[in-house]
Amino acid sequence: MYRKMWDKAMNGVHEQLLQKSTPNGLTYIADRLNGGRLDHKMDHLACFMGGSLALGAYTDPSGIDSSRAKRDLKTAKALTYTCYQMYARTQTGISPEFVQFRGGNDFKVPSSAPFYILRPEVVEAFYYLSVLTGDPIYREWGWEVFQSIEKYCKTEYGYGSLHDVNEPSMKPEDRMESFFLAETLKYLYLLFDPDSEIDILNKHVFNTEAHPFKIFNN
pLDDT of residue 69: 97
Rounded to an integer, what distance in angstroms lies between the CA atom of residue 113 and that of residue 176? 18
Residue 218 is predicted with a pLDDT of 62
- Show the CA angle centred on residue 20, arms to residues 18 and 24, nearest 5°: 155
Q: Is 133 annotated as a binding-site member? A: no
- Residue 207 is assigned to a structural domain of this protein: no
Say if 206 falls within a structural domain: no
- How confident is the model over 76-85, as pLDDT tens digits? 999 999 999 9
Q: What is the model's pLDDT at position 182?
A: 96
pLDDT, greater one: 162 or 1: 162
| Residue 185 in this model has a pLDDT that exceeds 90 | yes
C-alpha to C-alpha distance for 120 and 210, rounded to whole angstroms: 9
At residue 217, the pLDDT reads 79
Domain residues for the domain of 172 are 2-194
Give the DSSP letter of residue 76.
H
pLDDT of 46 > 90? The answer is yes
CATH of the domain at 179: 1.50.10.10
Say if CB 145 and CB 121 are below 8 A apart: no
pTM for this predicted structure: 0.95
Q: 1 or 167: whose pLDDT is higher?
A: 167
Pair 104, 23: CB distance under 8 Å: yes
Residues annotated as part of the active site: 97
Q: Is residue 69 part of a domain?
A: yes
